């Protein structure tokens, strides 16, 4: 997680898709060194002047350099794809990635709320997609080319509908917290101050399920 002087905040989570093998070397199966999710996040926040600007920078870096590489000193074989959340005072964006440089993003308007966790979460409500992802999914039989393209169902489940398509685990717990927070803030007679938000965040951090 991080923030910058322009009021842009961001964070990233590890995710896994059916294109994760792109991150591995064809020679020995080890992770090929590229930009880690933390690198992408840091560079986006260093340069981004708004949440949309940070999103665009992250996509540019992803497409030019790709993601991947060993993510743990104790386990040089561990690598992962990433999801990102960028927000400012006006709007927010979720960016989810697959393979080396495929992506989808979703816009969250002012007054709406959203969280991310260790799983793909964007469905058919994406705002934009990487250039070739739909043709890749169609060629692999993950999308029929006719229905509205469901990012999670395609790259996360190979086009199959099952219970894991719904939010679960920490993602579901985080969503419940945000719903409760939104309901609580709507009952206040005046806009909440910084102390109120800090107190609510402390309650969220104490919740082990999320």
pLDDT at position 163, please? 56
Q: End-to-end distance of the chain based on CA atoms, in angstroms?
A: 16
pTM for this entry? 0.93
Mean per-residue pLDDT for 152-165?
84
pLDDT exceeding 70 applies to what percent of the chain?
A: 99
Question: CA–CA distance from 160 to each of 32, 119, 133, 152 (Å)?
Answer: 29, 16, 17, 10
Determine the pLDDT at residue 170.
Answer: 87
pLDDT tens, position by position, 66-106: 999 998 888 888 899 999 999 999 999 999 999 999 999 99
Q: Which of 52-61, 133-142, 183-192 has the lowest mean pLDDT?
A: 183-192
Q: Tokens 């792109």 identify what position? A: 22
Encode pLDDT of 15-29 as tens digits.
999 999 999 999 999
């Amino acid at each position: 997680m991080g923030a910058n002087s322009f009021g842009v905040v961001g964070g990233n989570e590890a995710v896994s898709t059916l294109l994760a093998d792109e991150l591995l070397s064809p020679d020995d199966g080890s992770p090929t060194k590229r930009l880690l999710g933390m690198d992408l996040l840091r560079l986006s926040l260093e340069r981004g002047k708004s949440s949309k600007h940070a999103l665009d920078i992250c996509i540019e870096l992803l497409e030019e350099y790709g993601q991947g590489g060993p993510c743990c000193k104790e386990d040089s074989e561990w690598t992962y794809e990433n999801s990102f959340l960028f927000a400012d005072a006006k709007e927010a964006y979720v960016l989810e990635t697959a393979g080396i440089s495929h992506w989808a993003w979703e816009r969250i308007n002012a007054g709406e709320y959203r969280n991310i966790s260790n799983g793909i979460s964007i469905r058919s409500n994406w705002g934009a997609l990487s250039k070739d992802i739909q043709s890749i999914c169609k060629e692999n039989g993950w999308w029929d080319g006719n229905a509205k393209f469901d990012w999670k169902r395609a790259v996360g489940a190979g086009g199959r509908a099952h219970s894991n398509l719904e939010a679960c685990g920490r993602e579901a717990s985080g969503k419940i917290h945000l719903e409760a927070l939104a309901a609580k803030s709507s009952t206040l007679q005046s806009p909440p101050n910084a102390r109120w938000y800090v107190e609510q965040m402390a309650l969220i951090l104490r919740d082990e399920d999320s």
